[in-house]
Structure 1
């Protein structure tokens, strides 16, 4: 089977085992000792990424890529298998920041590499922490508009790494909340960044913001 015909939902975890700290390449476990607001000393177990470039304030970027279509704006999404949850996950394009690279530069590069699309950055969010009770991983959400009229956005040529199997698709922004529910029923996991964006759109609609 060629890589182009692979589906994220066809992957599966075949085994798990404990990972020794000296063998960990991407993460490390940490025990922090801190004082609470009353001055009592406590401890907290958490994880840290081991890959943040020196001088960078973030680990990576999430990319809110909007395809400008005559029928209305569509959000670019991906299906990618994630071993920690043993499911194909509905995600936005994302990636780690390279050394000396800004969040905006990283977003444009990652978008091109993962999807083939060329986009223009319109906004960079404040720094966001993915799961601060568990790890220190953080990112900027970068808003990118994709002009579908550009020649380079007609015949897409992603530059995926050997271990990357990514299915790219898009959905109308106005339908995102309902589509997340539908995709979950089909067995997909919903990445929190996608779900939060969908929830925000739904709240804005319900409260007429």
Structure 2
């Protein structure tokens, strides 16, 4: 990863012909609805879906375990051009051709964070943003087992050119509150999937319904 020397700046936004798009395409879906009315829908589709996994991407929900520290989770902060903002997310990435979701999760987690991990569960395939795209994903929960001698310095990342990813380890007891604080910062947005997970934990602890 190269050293940051400035804040990212969008210099131009223009229309992209589908023929020039490497990752996504824009399609028009024509369909007949539940009462027989003909309708159309604009859909963004990924060009990279793995035939083996049948899924576009994985997000790695993670628990960091240390012998003498409370359970924590590792968040990543990165600039996202579609939002022109920094997002707070869990590590995530596209599934390569011929790769299973579990394999992609272990590989991407190592690349983005530097840590080795083990998979503990894999979710069903989920819609990523069903009103706009057919993109789907799976949530792969992983554990990182640290040793007592592991220091404060995290291991080296294996980032690709153009990737600038900051890592933050947050105790699970502070998970929800930290995300709320991040959301108050200028030019910062918490990813919905991450916030929903944290909000679910918070709700389970604080709801008045006895759930």
The two structures have a TM-score, normalised by structure 1, of: 0.91
Per-residue CA shift, 1:171-207, capped at 9, x if unaligned? Answer: 1122222111111111211111111111111111112
For residues 47-58 of structure 1, what are the structure 2 equivalents within 5 Å?
47-58=44-55
1:201 aligns with 2:201: yes
Shift, 1:155, TM fit: 5.5
1:6 aligns with 2:34: no
2:198 match: secondary structure: helix
- Residues 1:122 and 1:33: Cα distance change in structure 2 (over 3 Å): same
Richer in helix (by share): 1
Bigger drift between 169-178 and 86-95 goes to 169-178
- Residue number in structure 1 paired with 2:36: 39
Structure 2 runs not aligned, ≥5 long: none
- Residue number in structure 1 paired with 2:160: 161
1:73 match: secondary structure: strand
State the distance in 2 between where 1:147 and 1:99 align: 29
Give the counterpart of 1:126 among 124, 143, 155: 124
Give the counterpart of 2:14 among 3, 14, 17: 17
Per-residue CA shift, 1:75-111, capped at 9, x if unaligned? Answer: 1100100000000110110001111111111100000
The two structures have a TM-score, normalised by structure 2, of: 0.91
State the distance in 1 between where 2:167 and 2:134 align: 28
Shift, 1:152, TM fit: 8.7
1:109 match: secondary structure: helix
Structure 1 runs not aligned, ≥5 long: none
CA RMSD of aligned residues (A): 2.0
Runs of 4+ in structure 1 deviating by more than 4 angstroms, as ranges, are 150-155
2:69 match: secondary structure: coil
